[in-house]
Structures are given as structure tokens and as C-alpha cells.
Amino acid sequence: MPSVMIRQTADGKLSFYVAKKDLEETIDTMEFSTAEKWGGEVKLTDGSMFYIDPMPAPKLPTTIRAKKL
């Protein structure tokens, strides 16, 4: 499970960055995106999919563990 950094871009979208893979993409969809439950299946604009264990919404930017699906 790689560590990924998620941050909010200037246009309000979420950016997903995996340093070891030099992958930076915009998050297209996220299964859960409320303050109480955030994460789940994440689809990137390039079609890649990752899974983030659901958690309360973190303060961005944040570094978390994600599993490639």
C-alpha cells in the first residue's frame, strides 16, 4: 500500500500524488466525501482506482495509505 498525498488544487478539485510512482492525477470520483465519512473507492482521471479506508474527513493536504485496485 503506497503512501499518497492528497491536496486541494486552486480550482477546488482534489489532487492525488504517489511519490514512488511519480503519479499525480486529479480525483474523478470518491465513494465517500462527507465530513463524517471520507475515502472508500477513489477513481482518478487516468482511470486508475485506489481504496482509502473510510475515515472522518482530514485536513488537507494530508498523507495517507491507499491500496491500488
Q: Which residue has better confidence, 20 or 31?
A: 31
Give the model's pLDDT for residue 3. Answer: 93
Rounded CA gap, 64 and 69, in Å? 16
Q: Which CATH code fits 3-68?
A: 2.40.50.240
Q: Taking a C-beta distance cutoff of 8 angstroms, is the pair 35, 47 a contact? A: no
What pLDDT does residue 20 have? 83
**pLDDT attached to residue 33:** 93
Name the average pLDDT for the chain.
95
Contact 3, 19 (CB under 8 A): yes
Once rounded to an integer, what is the mean pLDDT over residues 35-45? Answer: 97
Instruction: Name the pTM for this structure.
Output: 0.91
pLDDT of 68 reads 94
Mention every residue, 6+ apart, whose C-beta is less than 8 A from residue 61.
5, 6, 7, 8
